Structure 1
């Protein structure tokens, strides 16, 4: 995308983390900003901040797992600003634990937000963007989907999260290929961050009541929550730095966006396992003490 001035960005998960930081950068570039989030109070505060930067803002409270609500977001965007130029399908939640301990409601919540939220965004906005490109040779559009390094690796005790993030990488790679079959004016990227302080480890604060099981978290789920909180809050790369990488990728038509390119060595080893037919490499071979602590915690007597 050559320029951002006067164009429109739609951002989900816009009240915090990567969404809010991209909103700040979009406003600084002179874009109209559609800010969507599930948490109304945080959304109101974030929208007021972005308006204070001089941007035209449309705040929109929604649950991205609900198809009708994402469709309503698309209609509201077109009515307010026209077809958007940048769509950042960014809303996501974190959830861990041994994969067989996920309840049906756990699966429905995580898949609904992390995967179907992206799928709904692609389904709603891509046809609008393609049609805009067909009717205007000057139109430029770009879709960015937030996955994770967990979409390229398979860390243990993070089952549902890994599954959804792998699916988002696959969805995005397919979207890239499909777009290039039909247009040169709409492109896409996938964001694969590692541990960045964004607040995602507190995802449970916005979990809908009807998705709760009423059961106490299992030991593995408590361990996953503690490890995730420690890893995320200790991250040295900031959400602002990642947001700048997102905007740079949109400008430069870069597909893969990494917050921690140094982690790609683990991705390479996983792909070598696949190609060579090896059993999966121990993810803790570089830091065996972490694996030992995790095994000890999960094998301890319960009750």
Structure 2
């Protein structure tokens, strides 16, 4: 997708953080905007701050964990502007707890916002984007948590891994269909946003989060500190995304140093080793994506070969 001007972008989670910076960049590119967020007042303020003509922007409060609201957002976008060319499934929440302490409601909240919203975005926008036959692009926001498995973040990890495999699958399907719509996968590491405070927007139907105690509390504190310490900004993420869309590039991993940790995980899998990132952080109680960014993979040992006395 080379042309942005006078085309329409839909961005979820647009009231703050990466979503707001995506909106700013889209506005600067001359795009029409459909902005969605659960925080209505912040969304309206964000829309007003962009300084573009009211006829080129639609701000709509949306609970992305509800399919009917995603469907209504799609209807509103296509009705208002006649088409959608850039879909940014960006809304997300975070919850730091050890796996065995997460309640079903905790799982439903995180998966609803972080994974199901992306699934429903694809369901309700992409068929129309394909039918309009004008070209376009889908950007799904995952995380390095979709490429690694950080202790204390089970629900978030599962959701973000889901976004990764959904996006990779979608990429292959769009190629096979010879579609004019591309897809990119954004996987940031630590970005100083308010995602560690996303409990403020937890919907009533999910009840209160499981209290963070003991190890969960330690993980939660360290995660908040890591998020605040991020050196790349939300604006940096937006720049990376728009460059990737223009280049039709799938993987968008702005924090390049994290590649060492990703490679280490892949090596563990290929060499049938126990997960290094888990073993090396369980006692230290440190987020692996912080620690492993400075590690190098150990010397590899030959992997067992199937059919040579090994179980299959």
Q: Tell me the distance in 2 between the aligned counterparts of 1:111 and 1:263.
A: 24
Distance 1:192 1:294 in 2: 20
Q: Which residue does 2:297 correspond to in 1? A: none
Query: Using the alignment, how far apart are the partners of 2:77 and 2:36 within structure 1?
Result: 11
Q: What are the within-5 Å matches in structure 2 for residues 58-77 of structure 1?
A: 58-77=58-77
Secondary structure, counterpart of 2:115 in structure 1: helix
In structure 2, what is the equivalent of residue 271 of structure 1? 266
**Residue 114 and residue 215 in structure 1: after superposition, are their counterparts in 2 closer, same or farther (change >3 A)?**
closer
Per the alignment, in what secondary structure is the counterpart of residue 278 of structure 1?
coil
Output aligned runs, 1:93-132, within 5 Å: 93-132=93-132
Q: Is contact 2:101–2:210 with CA below 8 Å preserved after alignment? A: no
**Across the two proteins, how many residue pairs are aligned to each other?**
286
State the alpha-carbon separation in 1 of the partners of residues 44 and 277 from structure 2: 44
Whether 1:171 and 2:166 are equivalent positions in the alignment is yes
Checking the alignment, whether the CA contact within 8 Å between 2:14 and 2:36 is kept in structure 1 is yes
1:189 and 2:181 correspond = no
CA deviation profile, 1:263-292 (whole Å, cap 9, x unmatched): 01111110111111111114574xx7x942
Counterpart of 1:258?
Answer: 253
Q: Write the distance in 1 (CA, Å) between the matches of 2:193 and 2:34.
A: 20
Matches within 5 A, 1:89-238: 89-133=89-133, 139-213=134-208, 216-238=211-233
In 1, Cα distance between equivalents of 2:230 and 2:85: 31
Are the structure 2 counterparts of residues 150 and 242 from structure 1 closer, same or farther at C-alpha, using a change threshold of 3 Å?
A: same
C-alpha contact 1:6 1:30 (8 A) present in aligned 2: yes
| SS of aligned partner of 1:226 | helix
* Maintained 8 Å contact 1:97/1:223: no
- Asked if 1:82 is matched to 2:82, the reply is yes
**1:4-61 CA distances to partner (integer Å, 9 max, x unpaired)?**
01000000000011110010010011000100000111111001112x1447110010
CA distance in structure 2 between the aligned counterparts of 1:214 and 1:109, rounded to whole angstroms: 9
